[in-house]
Amino acid sequence: MSKERDCIVEAKEYYRFLLHRYYNGTATAAEEEELFAALRTNGDEDAWTTLIGELHASALPDPAYNPAQYEDAIQAILQPAAPVRKIRSYRWYYAAAAVLLLIAVGGYWLQRPATKAPATAMATNAHDIKPGKNGAVLTLGDGSQVVLDSLNNGVISTQQGTRLVLQNGQLSYDATSAGTVNYNTMTTPRGRKFQLLLPDGTHVWMNAASSLTFPTAFTGPTRSVTLSGEAYFEVAAQPNAPFIVKMNNETSVEVLGTHFNISAYPDEAHLSTTLLEGAVQVKAQQQTRRLQPGQQLDINATTGIATLNKQVDTLAVIAWKNGILNFQDKKLTTVISIIARWYDIEVVYETTPPDITFVGEINSDVTLATVLNFLRESGMHFRLEGRKLIIKD
């Protein structure tokens, strides 16, 4: 009996070690896999809760951590008012909040062990579809196009004195000797994303299925660009030259120097501007709204009605920029649109899409089969025919 008790103590200490490693971000892939396997198979939920509670109590306080906020979030996960489908997370954002989410997600695993997808789950797909990658098409001022993901590092073009330099997946503009100004358009097709350094030093990350039109040099009293799709901007500060992002004929964002994300896909029902740092003014329907960091202005693309969300998860908003497909609190149609753009697939709904809200995230470097298996485990029914995903319910 003593030997058995010693084994239990050793196992508990080892799980505490794995939790600390995971919490500190030092766990290896094998250790993470072992930890998650233990969560799924070891049914002593009280023991896990105690271990995680000890870790939480010993952690340094995070100034961005609001216990009440995450308690509400966890209750929404555990007792949703509407159907919620869980996508297993590969990692969690916050330091202190990670512990609470681990309790919530771990509890879900302990109560309902994951089921393996049938061996024939992907039988309709002759080849697994790879995830998107870095790449873009640049349309120059004369209308010619350059496919950037097929080029080596170096100067790829010179336009009226402005040098275009490609370096490790980022295009930059050197306008120190600029003459006549041309307009270029950076386009990221479905299944591609790219980084761009504008002539004024503004850093832009472009998501899949997006385009940005901009001058080869900023010479006037304002710096104006036009966006379709989604991009994250870190604007170079120039107090005398406001930076303006136009989304359509009626909506624009004006800043001096700040960090923000814009989602303005033409096939989506909403346009959103999310501020991470600084301040922006959003002009829509002849009205101007000023945002503070952590706020998001959501605009109905049909009615033009604007809704201000005063506290949003900004890290979730820019997860795409950091290599994450974030499905947190998103409806089925939004989740499927994210998947379709990144994996460049067509989606067909055989019936009216069910009103489902998802929870979780997954790395964007996994294959489509991995993502679809997670969706299948959530209870969804679909089939994949080539690059066409057919949703049944």
Reported as a single tens digit per residue, the pLDDT across 69-95 is 444 544 443 344 455 555 543 333 222
pLDDT in tens, 218-270: 988 999 999 999 999 999 999 899 999 999 878 999 998 899 999 999 989 89
Instruction: Report, at the CATH architecture level, how domain 323-391 is classified.
Output: 3-Layer(bab) Sandwich (3.55)
Instruction: Compute the average pLDDT of residues 41-60.
Output: 62
pTM, to two decimals: 0.71
Within 8 A by CB and 6+ apart from 194, the residues are: 134, 135, 136, 148, 169, 170, 171, 186, 188, 205, 206
Helix (H, G, I), strand (E, B) or coil at 70: helix
Has residue 281 got a pLDDT over 50?
Answer: yes
371, 350 Cβ separation under 8 angstroms: no
Report the candidate in 281, 278, 279 with the shortest Cα–Cα distance to residue 306.
Answer: 281
390, 383 Cβ separation under 8 angstroms: yes
Has residue 131 got a pLDDT over 80?
Answer: yes
312, 292 Cβ separation under 8 angstroms: no
208, 342 Cβ separation under 8 angstroms: yes
Determine phi and psi for 304, rounding to 5 degrees.
Answer: 80, 5
112, 41 Cβ separation under 8 angstroms: no
pLDDT in tens, 100-118: 333 333 332 322 233 333 3
Instruction: Compute the average pLDDT of residues 365-374.
Output: 89
Distances 115 to 122, 209, 376 between C-alpha atoms, Å: 15, 34, 10
d(CA 86, CA 313): 18
pLDDT in tens, 291-301: 999 999 999 98
Instruction: Show me where the domains of the chain are located.
Output: 2-111, 133-316, 323-391
The CATH class of 133-316 is mainly beta
User: What pLDDT is stored for residue 142 in this prediction?
Assistant: 87
Distances 100 to 22, 75, 95, 103, 318 between C-alpha atoms, Å: 14, 11, 10, 5, 22
